[in-house]
Amino acid sequence: MGTVYSSILPDHEEFIRKQRIFFVGSAPLSEDGNVNISPKGHDVFRILSANEVAYLDLTGSGNETSAHINENGRITFMFLAFEGPPMILRLYGSGNVVLPSSPEWDDLVQHFDILPGARQIIQAKIETVKTSCGFSVPFFSYDGERDTLQQWASNKSEHELEEYRKKKNSISMDGIVTPIGEGVVNSKNVE
């Protein structure tokens, strides 16, 4: 069953800081909707307090997490030990999407090194922390970060990135409008 905590403890924080990848889980309210699990790399995750985290979200081909959070707020983060002692650590909470145009952006963005293609910050209040054994998680070695996304974003102007986001990041695969798409969908600029 694992062990459940009401906040992120110092040893949890130490574990999280060592991980090179984390996974974000979210889902729409509709039982017909798709559950989304999204892997995240790069140094984009921050622990703001024992019950608050955030990550810098980079432009990608979809925006499911943002759509789900905008609809219902539910979010789960998962960290796995791929080296050293086995462990799985999950953070359960409610999130919100902070766009560069949001009032909270200026305060939150100070916690991050801005990477090419940064599109939003996902912030979450953590209600439950759960650890479990991770005995079946295999060992993997870290060889480095992929730079493909950063190179792609670096070769685009801000206008080109905005247009890409309007086209690809405005609506989830289940038809849920994202915060990026809220002004776009009504003007019918999305395919």
* Whole-number pLDDT of residue 183: 75
188: in domain: no
105: in domain: yes
Neighbours of 143 (CB within 10 A): 7
Quote the DSSP letter at residue 93: E
66: in domain: yes
Please report where in the chains the tokens 């909470």 appear, as a residue: 93
Note whether 81 and 28 are within 8 A (CB).
no
pLDDT of 186 over the 70 cut: no
Note the Cα 23 to chain centre separation in Å.
8
Domain span holding position 95: 3-182
Could you list the beta-strand ranges (E) of the chain. 3-5, 22-26, 36-40, 45-49, 52-58, 74-80, 88-98, 118-132
pLDDT of 93 over the 70 cut: yes
187: in domain: no
Note the pLDDT tens digit of each residue in 154-180. 999 999 999 999 999 999 999 999 999
191: in domain: no
pLDDT of 22 over the 70 cut: yes
61: in domain: yes
Give CA torsion, residues 16, 17, 19, 21, to 10 deg: 90
104: in domain: yes
Note whether 58 and 119 are within 8 A (CB).
yes
Q: How far apart are CA 149 and CA 33, in angstroms?
A: 27
Please report where in the chains the tokens 């009504």 appear, as a residue: 186
139: in domain: yes
Quote the DSSP letter at residue 148: H
Residue 48's CATH number: 2.30.110.10
- Once rounded to an integer, what is the mean pLDDT over residues 107-129? 97
pLDDT of 185 over the 80 cut: no
When the pLDDT of each residue in the chain is averaged and rounded to a whole number, the result is 95
Regarding pTM above 0.85, the answer is yes
Q: In the chain, how many domains are there?
A: 1
Amino acid at 168: K
